[in-house]
Structures are given as C-alpha cells and as structure tokens.
Structure 1
C-alpha cells in the first residue's frame, strides 16, 4: 500500500509524484520515499492537520523503507522561513547550503562539495544554465516543489550521478488530492538593510472529473536584498614585484624588504622563495543591491481510469531575472606601476609552519585606486515537459517516462571604471582591510577625491547559454513466488537514455565614448559625471560595515550615457563552444525477504551498466603566421567515451519491534561539468593566467558503504545513527598545465600595460584517491510522550561530522582538506503546535571549509556560519491562516579568511528578512 499524508491546511506527500505545485501549504515532515519508478496510485489518504502528526506518519513510512534516504515535503516548505528551494532543503539531515550574499544558492550533502550532488525534477536531470552538475537553486522558488528526497545509498534502478547523494524533486498531480482544491497566498517580505518590502503571490487549483484530473498553479515573487561587504582582501605573492628582475620596481621592493622587515631575498627570480612572501592584493568596500523577480507556472493533466493505470502529462515553466548593482571603492595594491614604499608591520610567526611571511601593513608607491560601478543582469528561462506511465497487474508493474528539461540563460555584464594612481597605505583590520592616506605628500583620500579619478572605460560582456536535457526510461518489475527460492520476492529490469548538451556564446566590448568608435570620455575626471552618494545608490542608508561614505556614478547614468543607439556587444567566434553527452544505462536488481533466526531481513541488490559518449566542439587560438602578432581562432572538436558497471546493495533488518539495522554498499560516479569539458579559454588579466577546458576529463568515482541503527520511540519519535565511508578517486581540480609567453596585456583605456608570460590552468583528474568517513545523527523527539504538560512541543535535529584523508594539494605543499568539504554540519528545530497555533525556531550551522585556493598556493576559507530562523502561524479559521517568519533574525555576517582568521578576506552583511503572509483555502 502506498500512503499519502494530506492535511486540511497542510499535507505531507510520501510517494514520489511528478510536477510541482507552485503554491502549497506547509508543515514539515522528514520521510523516506520510494523512487518515481515505484510510484503507484493512492490506496489510502491519511488526513492530518499538524506538523506533529505529519512527522509521526512520515517517520513510520521511513521505518519501512530499504536503504538510507530522507525527505522534505510540501508540508514543510511553505511554512518554513526560506527564500528559495535551496533554503528549504537545508532542513534535511545531512544537507547544508552555500550562501551568496545572504541567499542560499547551492546544496551540499554530508558536507561534500556541491558538484558531488546530482539533482533531478520528476526523474529528469535538471537544467539551470550553469553548465555544471550542481544546480543553481536560487532560480527556483520553494513553492515549486511537493517533495524532495535525498538518496544517500543508491539502488541499481536510480540514475547514477551523486557521490554525496541524489536530490530527487517531485511535484503534485490532481489525483494527489481528495477532490477539488483551491489555495491562494499573499506575502510581504522586509529586508532590514535595504528597508524594502517585497511581494509574493501564489495560487493553486486542482480538481478531478471521473477518470480525468487537472492541476494548475502559479507563483510570482520579488526579492530586494542589499549586501554590504568589505572584501577582496586576498594574498598576493611578492613575486608580483620581485619578478621584475631588471626593473627599478623589483629592486626597490627587495631593498624595502631588507630595510623594514629584515627579509633578505636571495634570488628574486626564484618563485619558490618569492611566493612565500605575502602582501595584500586588493581591498574593496562594496555595496550590492540585488533585485530578483521570479515567476513560475505548472500544469498537470492526469488520466486514471483505475488504481492500476495512470497516464500523466506535466509542464513546468518559469523565469528568473536578477539585476545586481555593485558599487565598489577599491585599492589595487598590486598595481603594475607600484612597488613597496614602507613596511609598517610584518608577521613572521602566524604562518611560520608553512614558511610564509606576511606583510600586514604597507605603504605603496603607486596604488591603483578604482571606483567601479558594476551591473550584472541574469535572465534565465526554464521549462520542463514530461509524460509518465504507471501500469500494474496482479504480479507486475510497468513504469515509463519521457521528458525534456531546458534553460536559456543570458548574462549581461557592465563595469564603469574610473582610476587614479597615487601612493597609499593598505592594511588588514579585524574584519577585513582598509586603505588610508600614506605619509607620502602625493597620497590622496581615495573616498573623497572625485576630481582625481579619470574615466578609463565602460567594459561590457554578453554571454548566452543553452542548456538542454532529454531523457527516456522504461522498467518492468515482476513479483515472484518461487517454491524453490521463496526469499526472492521480485526482480526489476530497465533501461534509460539521456542526452545533455550545453551551447555557449560570449563576447566583450570596451566602450570609451558616447558613440560607436568614439573616444570622447578617455581621461575625463569622474567629478564631471553625475555623482551619487553610496547611501542613495542603494536603498537603506549608510554603509553598514565601516564608518565611511563615498560617491560615484550610478549604473543608470552609465547605461544612459554609454549604451548609445544601436549599441550591442558582439559575440566572439573564438569564445563559442558546444558540449554534448549521451548516456545509455541498463540495470537489473532483485528484492529478497527472509528471516535470519528471529530477525526479518529485506535485501535489495543489483547492478547498473553505464555507457557514456561525449562530443566537445569549440575553438583553439592559433598564433598568426609569418611572425605577425595576434591569434586566430581555429575550429576543433573531440570525441570521447567511457563505460562502467555500478553495483549496489541495501539491507534492512528488524532487530526488535522498534529497532532497525540498515546497511548499504555501492559504487557510483559524478561526471565532470560540461563547462570543464568544453574547448574554451578564459583570461584573468590581473592574475596573469588563462583557464582552459579539458575534453579528456573522466568522471570522479566513489566506492562507499554505510551502516546504521534507528530506534523508534512512538508518537513519531526517532533516534538514528549511521556511519558512512567513501573512497573517492579522480577528483577534478584546476592544475597548472603550461605557459604562454609574450602575452600583451592592455589597460582599460587601450594603452599597453606590458608583455608577460601567462600561466595556463586546466581541470584535470587528480591522481590517486582519498577517503571520507563520517557519522550522522538524527533525533525527532515529541516531548509529550515523556511528560504530558509538554504535549505539542518537540525537537527535530540532525548532526553530521566528517573526516577526510586528503591533504597537501596546494602548489606550495600547504595542508588542507578537499575544497568544499565541511567537517561539521547540524540543524536543530524546536517546535510547538496545536490545532490553532504552530511555532518553530530553527538553527542551521555549517562548519568552515576551503572555498578556493588563491594562485593554487593559499587556501581561502569560508568561516563557519550559523543562522537562526523563526516561524509562526495561526489558523484564524479552517480556511484562513496567518504566517509570520524571520530569516537570519540575529543578522549574522558571512566571513572568510586566508589560512588564518587574522587575515580576513571578507566581511559581508545581508540583513534580516521578515515575512508576513496570509494563506486562504477556498
């Protein structure tokens, strides 16, 4: 029997079902659900009206499931305080999120990097335009989902692709409801920094007429968020100055190091020596205004003449638009014209174990001060269409699906740049860094010298991405009753075909005047443009990170001034690439049920064969012949393939009536990002490096096993512990693979900065393997079963701790864990509910992790981050509910540092968000 838990004002969906209702009600349940291939029609509807009852029923179903997995369902989503789908998922045991300017963006499972997680909607790999395997969840509103299941121990019938886990998103169909249902909600959300209130509207209507049913829903929302950030404060090796072995700048840097810090450089051309002397790269004070508009619609048509047959067509379409204005006052210490003038403070002890000397406080001869007005416009259109067949007889089941998921993304970027070169002093502070006037008489107050800044360029780029994914699957399950092998209860066989492709166009243009080809702004003082105080450029008043203010040019003024009639950013043929991937999978598995003494045991085992073909097309830059300067794009393509057999085993044993033992073992993989497979070259001019794709990349593989115990307490209570182990090999990382000599680097005004040798980095499969192991704890405890006066109170908590064997991956041999891996993550929710009132307080924490490696030498850490969210709702009537939610109510800052917290790289505030909503059921 398949159960669905439905609520009068909220419901928990247990069996997986296709396409999302975009507006649902909300309580939470953590459940374990079968895959889409196992979904059959509803045999029983359990009506609930509270969070506690949903938990009780959901935990009971988890108890009966083979394998390790947990879920979040629509009863949790809309009543929990979250801003998008990623933030809804962080309530699942072992799931945390990566935040970008206060907004959840990507999902991590068990502390592993987001690219190790496979995501699908209704059985189809999800397109978002990212080009990676990790999905950009910020394009999806939380209302689009009905259920999300995170599978941590795969079966042979499950699509491969998740080393950390697979996030399977399911949505609603009309026969999921008992008759007609019409629901609407309206919400206002207030951000404490921008002081803006944003609207959100949702609507759903579903009905059935005999054998036919239809569901339609729509949701639209706006989010206006301001973020203030003191950031960009990374390590830069003194090689930047000292490598100028024949110039005066290198000689002066060498002399100042000896005079002020007692550091005598033996050979300034030896990077092994000069890379271990550190100064600050850049300090920036930045105010961001991020405005997002989301809308989405869902349609589901279902034909169900009997409980044994169902045919459905589902469509999901939506659009995500975001405009981000960034106003940046920055000081580029590593200016190509500058060098050391005076070292005021240096540190030989903090990073002595790594052999690093850090210059904490330095005056520079000619810092490049910048006023940057940046505008980023992201428009993503996504759509998904699918059909699914479920047909069963007395002893067999047939499941088939076919569908398409696609996204079209346009990224429009502009940067209005004003610069001035002058002496200044840059140093670390407790929260980040600062640039102030130096003792040099030519030094300036960089925040209040608009007449000193000169127009350098209005840089634009345009990128268009098409992300298309097709899939078809069919499988057949046969129930068995064999006298000679009574333990074998069923077998299942199937096949799946997927076709994924990414196509990308890119172009850039540097504008220096008010018309095509005009150079009428070059060298123009910023003071002659329309200036606006930063407190007025972004709503919400004064800059909140530091006690300072400045004025610069608005993005609106820049767009009106430089985007002349007929303006467009042309695509560059050499930046085009296309990558396609075809996968054919065949699988077979069996279910066994038997008694081992007095212990009932259930076993699911099988194997999946995967055959993958890849075609990568693009351009290489070929040196022009006859000694002429420049490069010409030449088309190139590459074909590749690989295959693999992936076994899996899941075991469940009922040790007692309330104690269950689980075990699982499998081999799985995650394929490299399509972007990494592409023929492309991206230039980072300030870092003197090119980044290329690598069509010869192979997947990252993992062997894994897990064991666990689950103690069921009654009344929906659960205590669970599991230990998991993974051996991961072929990890993809960026590596130095070559150099390009004699590269001419230009300034934004078109003048030549110099001729340099550029490093070439490519993604490679790292040799060898590393191990990750961990423990996961889950506690769902309703207090009323232990102490009657606490009836209605309870906790829902989980904790994951990891240990990894991987160290020393930087070019300098500095020890560090894998990028993206956090040792500790936990979520804790205290709840209360009765028939009228529900309240929850939730704390989510992710420990520190390496966010990246600066120049492949210096690990850059994101500090541990914890956030408190609150939610309360009151049922005025059976059909009217009021909700009040608070996100990040303690206004936590996002922080980062390089190697040691005393060298911060970022201090970022995104504010609190308060939501007030009204939900109506008609």
Structure 2
C-alpha cells in the first residue's frame, strides 16, 4: 500500500467500527466547573477519572464532557494551576447521561492558593492546554479579561517558542511562525479565517485586535485534518471572550496614556469590555459580551537608507527620510452565547476593526554623478520629495455556529463571513523638487551622514518637477460554511473518536487604483511651498515640503489631462478563489498512547481578470485566466505519556499555501524599452511535508521543559525571477515576474523552559522565569536567465527570506502581594530580507540581528483597581538592514523608547 494512503486506511477502519452495532456507549459524564464567588475562570481545569486514567480539559463556560464510560464507581479529581482542589466519588450507570456541577471557592472552602490571574496563572493555563492537546500547539491566555501585557496581540506572540514578528515603524504587526513568512501562515478569529486588507497580500496584521475581548491566542504548529491546510508555518487562532465564563455581570475599563520619546508626543488609549449572563427559569443561559477599544498614537522615526546602492566600497545614491505618523485604531466586538442545555449551544461572534494610518514622509534623495567612497565628494543630483497619504483598513468578521451532543455523536457547524478593505481616498504619492550640487558626499557607511554645501539647504534652489497623486481601494471578502461530525466509541476497550466533515470557502480579492501625474506648473520652487525644517535626529535635514501647499497647487490643475492611464488601469484586477475541502480523521487512546490519523482533500479554483498593456501600440486589453488544482493531505500524529509529568510527541503532516495575490496578479505591462513586468496566474500552490518530534516535561506550577525538532520540505517554492533572455522574452533586458522553483526546506530545534520559583524563601518565591530558543536552518534554490544569458538559466541557493537562524526570549517576572513586574527581552539573528540580484549574493539585503528589551510593571491597589507602567524598546534598538556586509547600509531607522502609564478598573 502506498505510504501516503495508510492513514486513510486507518481512518476507514475506525469508520467501520463507528457504525458497528457491537460497539456501544455505556454512559456519559458531563458537567461544569463553576466558581462560588465568581472570581475565577475555570475554562482550563483538568478533570480526571483516576481508575480509567482518562483526563479532559474544561472548555468555554467551564463545561466538560467525557463520553463512553463503563458502568461503575470512580474517583473524579479537579486540578487547576497544577493543584488538586476537588476529589469526589461518582457512579456511572449503563446508558446514563450523568451531569455534575462542581462549585469551587465556596464559603466553606479554602482555595486561596488557586492561581486566578497574573503571569504564573497565564502560563499554567497555557501549559495545561498545550499538555492535553492532541497536536502540538502553543497558547497565550489573556490575564483576567483579555489584558495582554504586550501592546498588541502580535507583540504578545513573539514570546512563543519559534515565533517572531515583523515590525512596521517599530510596532509589531505581522507574525512569523518558525521563520515562515506571514503570507504563508493563516489567521482566524473564532474559526473564521480573516482576509487581508493590504493589496496583494494574504498576511493579516495582528495589531488591530481589541485585546479587551481576547480570551486566548492559539498557535497550531502541527495541523489536524479538520483544520484548514493553508499554513506552512502555523495557524494562529484568536479566541474571544464568552460571557458564559462568568455567572453574572462583569466589566473592565482601561485608561492609558503613552509618550513617544523621539517626537516628544503623548497619545491616549481607552478600552472597555464587559458582559452579563442571564439564567432563565428553565435553566437556559444567555451570555452577552462586548468590547470597545480606541488608540490614537502620534510618533515618528528618523531614517537613512541606500536601498542597496553599493558598488563595492562606493555608494551610488542614498536617501534621508523623516517620518511623522499618526495611527488611530478602533476595535469593537459583540458576542452572544446561548446555552439551551448542557448538550446544545449556539453562538454568534462579531468583530470590527478600523486602522487609520496618516503618514507624512519628507525625503531628500541624493544621487551621485559617480559613485563615491565615504569622505570623498563630487557632484550629485538631489530630489526633495514628499509623500503624504492617509489609509484606512477595516476588518469585519462574523461567525454563527452551534454545537450539539446527541448520545455518542457531536455535531458542529459554523457559517462565517469576513471582509477586509484598504481605502486611500486620495494622497500625494510623490511631490518632487529637483536640483544639482557640487561638493556632495557622506561619511560612515553604516549610518551615512550627509556632507553638503550651504546652497543644498536653501529652498529656492529646488525647482518643481512633478506631483503624483493616487487614489486606491482594495477589498478582500470571504464566505465560508463548515460542518463537523464526531462519533465517540470504543475499539477493543480503548476510547476512540471518528470525525469527518467538510468546508466550502469562497473568496474575492479586488484592487482598483487611479494615479495622476501633474507636471504643468509655473516655475514654482520649493521656497513657494516650504514647511518648517524637520527635527531630524541623524543630522541636519534642510527644507521640508508643505502638504497643504501641494494640495493647493494641484487643485487648479486639469485632473483629466494628468491621469496616468497605464498606472491607473494596469494595477486593477479581480481574483476569485473557491476552496472545497473534505476530511476524515480518527484518534484512539491505547493506554499511554494517543494516535491521531486522517486525510484532508482540498480543491482550489481561481478565476482571474486583469489588464495587459502594450506601450508601443499604446493599447490595453482585458486579460482573463483560470487555474485549478487539488491536494490530498494525509497526516499522522502521536502522543505518548512516559509518566505523569513527561510525554513524547511526533507528527507527520502536510499543508498547502496558495500564492499571494500579488504573485498571481493577472497583469502584464511592456514599457516599450525591452522591459516588462507581470504576475503569474499559472503558479502552483506551495506544499509542505512537515515532520515534528518532541518531548515535554512538566514541573509544577507554571513549570515546564520542552524540546522539539522539526523539518519542513517545501515543494514548488515561489520566488521572484527575471525571464529576460528566455522563450518569448529572448530580446528583453528585464522581465520581472514570479515562478515556481525547486524544493526548499527548513529544519530546526525549539527549546523552552519556564518555572515559578515558589520553592525559594520569601520574598523571592514570587520570581518567575521563562525562556525559549529556536535554532533553524533553511535553503531554497532560485534561478533567472538575465540579460544576455542566451536562454541559459543561472541558479543559486539562498536562505528562505525572513528566516532567522536564531530567535529567543527571556522573561524575568515577579508577582507577590499585588505587585507584578516583567522584564522581557526578544532576540532575532540576522536574516535574508530581499534578493536584489538573482545571479549574485553581492546585492542581497539582510536585516541585522535585533534585541529588544521591554519592561512592564503593575500594582493591584485592590481587587478592582490596578495601575500599570510599561517601557517598550528600553535600549532604543534601531531597525537596520545592510547589503551583503554589515558595514554597508541598506536602511537605518530609529524609533526611540515608548512609555505607557494606565489604570484598569474591574468589577466581577
């Protein structure tokens, strides 16, 4: 039998057992772990039947269910935070559906040692979920009502082993899993996949999630067949708060202010979350939870970059840039949970997020007549440039679903709708004033500092060249429907589950852009539209350009005559993506061994509509294309418990990621000078065979040691290439597009350790240590033809872009008597950022190693009031990229530290 089909054979065998009349249930145990004083959330308590060695975690609202129990008398225990807090005897009878409500923390009980909130509580709950999961996951649970200690969800996830983040202007936005690009990971909220507002991307920024409604962030590193397979690195699930986790009403309000040291500006942030659970006379419960989050941050950055314009030691050009940024975030969510009874649950989850980015970029572009070395001078052309635009991204997600238990069967379904868009209603994409000067130069190859004569700083010396104005709109919309059916059974006295289901998702991505190029001016100079000189921390900047003056200048121009037909139409496209999926899977517990096997089938259809442009004929034509492919994705996973504290995990899984929309874009433009640019709708999806092996050892409260090795063999790796000199492009000098390449691979090891040092004498018993380190190695082959290659491809091996060899975190925490401190450091080693020259590594751009240090402190004045203080980027770590060797700047950007002070009011 083909090895890839063996898991399917096992599933079919269990399917036969699931419908066999010889296998029948004896009894079911269900219940709820509640809190008598309504101060704790028991959604991750461990319920254990001692005699059967069976365990299950409580879920939402503290509910648990343990089917297929033989009739008899058993000992049931409840463990929270590594401590056993309940032990009782129960009796299961034939064909009985036994319901038990376990109420903790009553007046007669003393469970003050139970962890409720704080760093150690978060870590312990996360470890419990990780420990009892069928597959390999990492979890961050929110402190109390979704109060994440980091500024946003992305920055919280960088603490997870194997995860790192991509920052934009110093803010964490996108998450990489095991070094894999964010475009190759998936993000979903309550089971509904989120689309991407950015044009061309699949990656979803996680800084827009209102933290007030986050219950947990779950990173799945080994996918199961009932999950979407569109994640080579991993799948990130945002779980939102349910009001059923509380008996009555609750609320939390956060008021915060921040201070940006670089720009000396202050900004506000507000958050409110709350909810209520209504219990009716018939026992039904309705939970309503909502949240509102608002953040308006003013900040900036100082930048100098070459973009990789080095010719050995000589520099051809560089830019100095000053950014002034205002970002406004608004998040809202409203969740409904309706518990008809213990066996029937309906829910509605909604999320709205708005992110407005108002950015002004002042730049001076210096292009030397002849490449210069540091310290030498020569002639240079200079362009003073302004970019001023406001973009608004919106994300809407709605999920309606239900869960029903019918004897030994579980039926689940969900209908999801999500939409993301990015709107730029009109902005200056480039206002350019030009001049030329002698005696121009620079010093310092790592952080180039301009040398210029006095006339360089005079606004009257710059004549207007052109003004580019852009309006753009991108929309990404998806509808999905899924169902899952599970049967609990016994196979030769071993508890097992058989599960099958399907999903259909329809997605549409559209992009519309209009561009204007204004050039009909009356000899204006920069002096006519000058603004105050920026406060630039990397040297003297010189005159800036007033955005208001530029808008006034182009307001009297003939907009119709200025329309750039090529840029306006060639960027427009519509792509639809329909994915149909079905799966079979089963698991079985054989004493200390859990086996899970299954297979997933996914069929993908793409339909494309775009435009091509022939510059010689000045003709546009509509371009249409279709693409279809399917994948069979088997998987096998195992968990083996060596003892009560130690377990082994192994997994072989397969995943598939479709090309990004930019890579597939149905567009082709030929500028008439032997250069062309096009997308590739015929690209195949990338697939990955993933192998994981690890050991986990749990050492008490918030304590664990783990080590995992992993490998990913990626087929049809997609890379940017140049087809000039090949096939139909034999006479071209450059043809930029995307292509499927040979195989790529990534392998590595993840190490993690954490421990609450409660064995130490007071006051040191409040210390908490947590550390993780991931080492990985990757390679991929790329090829190009290049100018004058006569159809002969050149190939070379590179690291996977965005892949750090080493990522690590160290957290030193302390919590005792209402005081919580946390000093956290995150490290990323250098990685390949961009391939500039397909034929040579000399042009490759790398991001330098980064170490960021953050401090957070909080003090609980009383159970209802807590104050917090945070410093982000204490050591003022810059963003630095370089060309080939670290001394050759590609980009240097400085942000400075940010300080936050806030107060939180809570009522439970």
Could you tell me the TM-score, scaled by structure 1's length? 0.81
Q: 1:218 offset after TM fit, Å? A: 0.8
Is the counterpart of residue 116 in structure 1 residue 188 in structure 2? Answer: no
Match of 2:463 among 430, 454, 469: 454
Query: What does residue 826 of structure 1 align with?
Result: 808
Alignment of 1:64-103 (within 5 A): 64-75=132-143, 79-103=147-171
1:290 aligns with 2:325: yes
1:301-330: CA deviations, max 9, x gaps?
221121211111122122111111111122
What is the 5 A alignment of 1:610-621?
610-621=602-613
Instruction: Give 3-state SS (helix, strand or coil) of 1:137's partner.
Output: coil
CA distance in 1, matches of 2:40, 2:183: 33
- 2:100 and 2:194 map into 1 onto residues whose CA distance is 25
Q: CA 1:525–1:883 in structure 2 vs 1: closer, same or farther (change >3 Å)?
A: same
Distance apart, 1:558 and its partner CA: 2.0
Given that residues 841 and 868 in structure 1 are in contact (C-alpha distance below 8 angstroms), is that contact kept between their aligned partners in structure 2? Answer: yes
What are the Cα deviations for residues 427-474 of structure 1, in whole angstroms up to 9, with x where unaligned?
A: 46143324434xxxxxx5464132221011111122110110111100
Deviation (angstroms), 1:837: 1.0
Q: Secondary structure at the match of 1:175?
A: helix
Does structure 1 conserve the Cα–Cα contact (< 8 Å) formed by 2:34 and 2:101? no
Distance in 2 (CA, whole Å) between partners of 1:829 and 1:93 is 12
Looking at structure 2, the residues matched to 230 and 531 of structure 1 have their Cα atoms a distance apart, in angstroms, of 20
Q: For 1:687-740, what per-residue CA distance to the aligned partner results, in whole angstroms no more than 9, with x for missing partners? A: 996432110011111111111111111122100001111111211111112389
**Of 119-128 and 882-891, the range deviating more from structure 2:** 119-128
Aligned to 1:783: 757
Higher relative contact order (CA 8 A, sep 6+): 1
**Secondary structure of 1:179 counterpart:** coil
Any stretches of 5+ residues in structure 1 without a counterpart? 19-28, 31-39, 238-276, 346-359, 438-443, 513-518, 536-542, 624-628, 744-755
Which of 381, 384, 392 matches 1:368?
A: 381
Residue aligning to 1:243: none
Instruction: Using the TM superposition, give the Cα deviation of residue 4 of structure 1 relative to its aligned residue in structure 2, in angstroms.
Output: 8.7
| 1:49 Cα offset (Å) | 3.2
CA distance in 1, matches of 2:542, 2:224: 58
Is 1:606 the counterpart of 2:606? The answer is no
3-state SS of paired residue (1:164): coil
SS at structure 2 position matched to 1:178: coil
Structure-2 change in CA distance of 1:2 and 1:370 (3 Å): farther
Q: Deviations over 1:211-244 (max 9, x none)?
A: 222122211111111100111342366xxxxxxx
What is the DSSP-based 3-state SS (H/G/I as helix, E as strand, rest coil) of the residue aligned with 1:785? coil
Contact residue 808 and residue 826 of structure 2 kept, 8 A: yes
Say if 1:859 and 1:678 are closer, same or farther in 2 by CA, change over 3 A.
same
Contact 2:752–2:773 (Cα < 8 Å) also in 1: yes
User: Which residue in 2 is equivalent to 1:408?
Assistant: 421
Deviation of 1:789 after TM superposition, in Å, equals 5.1
3-state DSSP of counterpart to 2:143: helix
Please report how far the alpha carbon of residue 192 of structure 1 lies from its aligned counterpart in structure 2 after TM superposition. 0.4
310 and 882 in structure 1: CA distance in 2 versus 1, 3 angstrom threshold: same
**Partner-residue secondary structure (3-state), 1:146:** strand
CA deviation profile, 1:602-621 (whole Å, cap 9, x unmatched): 11110001111110111111
- Which residue number corresponds to residue 852 of structure 1? 834
Alpha-carbon separation, structure 2, partners of 1:324 and 1:189: 19
Q: Distance in 2 between matches of 1:576 and 1:841?
A: 47
SS for the counterpart of 1:806 is: strand
Say whether 1:222 aligns with 2:207: no
Alignment of 1:588-737 (within 5 A): 588-595=584-591, 600-622=592-614, 629-681=616-668, 690-737=676-723
1:544 equivalent to 2:560? Answer no
Query: Is structure 2 residue 744 aligned with structure 1 residue 770?
Result: yes
Q: CA deviation at 1:486?
A: 3.4
What CA deviation, in whole Å up to 9, does each residue of 1:736-757 have, x standing for no partner? 12389xx9xxxxxxxxxxxx97
User: How far did residue 426 of structure 1 move?
Assistant: 3.7
Residues 271 and 294, structure 2, Cα contact 8 Å, conserved in 1: yes
1:509 is aligned to 2:516 = yes
Between the aligned partners of 2:675 and 2:175, the Cα distance in structure 1 is: 29
User: CA separation in 2, counterparts of 1:796 and 1:116?
Assistant: 28
Give, in whole Å, the separation in 2 of the partners of 1:106 and 1:772.
Answer: 20
Provide the secondary structure at the position in 2 that maps to 1:556. Answer: helix
Q: Which runs of 5+ in 2 are unaligned?
A: 1-29, 45-57, 62-80, 83-98, 105-113, 280-284, 787-793
Match of 1:901 in 2: 886
1:839 to 790, 814, 821: 821
Q: Name which of 346, 367, 372 aligns with 1:311.
A: 346
Distance 1:806 1:43 in 2: 55
* Structure 2 residue 444 is matched with structure 1 residue 429: yes
**Matched position secondary structure for 1:316:** strand
Pair 206,109 (structure 1): closer, same or farther in 2 beyond 3 Å = same
Q: Which residue of 1 aligns with 2:16?
A: none
2:280 pairs with 1:192:
no
Q: How big is each residue's C-alpha offset from its partner over 1:94-144, in whole Å with a ceiling of 9 and x where there is no partner?
A: 111011221112111112222221111111221231242221334444445
* 1:470-493 deviation per Cα after TM superposition (whole angstroms, max 9, x unaligned): 1110010000124xx433611000
Structure 1 residues 357-506: aligned runs within 5 Å: 363-365=377-379, 367-411=380-424, 412-414=426-428, 415-427=430-442, 429-437=444-452, 444-445=453-454, 447-482=456-491, 485-487=492-494, 489-506=496-513
Aligned to 2:872: 887
Aligned-partner Cα distance in 1 for 2:888–2:40: 48
TM-score, with length taken from structure 2: 0.82
* Offset of residue 807 of structure 1: 6.2
- 1:681: Cα distance to partner? 4.5
Q: Is the 8 A contact 1:384 1:405 kept in 2?
A: yes
Q: Distance in 1 between matches of 2:711 and 2:626?
A: 34
Label 1:110 to 1:13 Cα distance change in 2 as closer, same or farther (>3 A). farther
Q: Deviations over 1:659-688 (max 9, x none)?
A: 111111111111111232121257999x99
Q: Are residues 458 and 83 of structure 1, via their aligned partners in 2, closer, same or farther at CA, if it must alter by over 3 Å?
A: farther
Name the CA shift for 1:698/1:720 in 2 (closer, same or farther; >3 Å).
Answer: same
Alignment CA distance shift 1:533-1:469 (3 Å): same
Q: Shift in Å at residue 907 of structure 1?
A: 1.6
In structure 1, what is the Cα distance between the partners aligned to 2:32 and 2:652? 28
Displacement, 1:909? 0.7
Q: Which residue of 1 aligns with 2:734?
A: 759
Q: Deviations over 1:9-60 (max 9, x none)?
A: 8869657779xxxxxxxxxx99xxxxxxxxx999888871332233234323
Structure 2 equivalent of residue 156 of structure 1: 225
How many residues align structurally? 795
After TM superposition, the structure 1 = structure 2 runs for residues 282-361 of structure 1, keeping only pairs within 5 Å, are 282-333=317-368, 338-339=369-370, 345=373
Do the aligned partners of 1:339 and 1:364 also contact (CA within 8 Å) in 2? yes
Contact 2:717/2:780 (8 A) holds in 1:
no
Kindly tell me: are residues 662 and 684 of structure 1, through their superposed partners in 2, closer, same or farther at Cα, counting changes over 3 Å? farther
For the residues of structure 2 that align with 1:920 and 1:317, how far apart are their CA atoms? 24
- CA contact under 8 A between 1:428 and 1:904: conserved in structure 2? no
8 A contact 1:85–1:140 mirrored in 2: yes
2:767 corresponding residue in structure 1: 793
Distance 1:420 1:10 in 2: 67
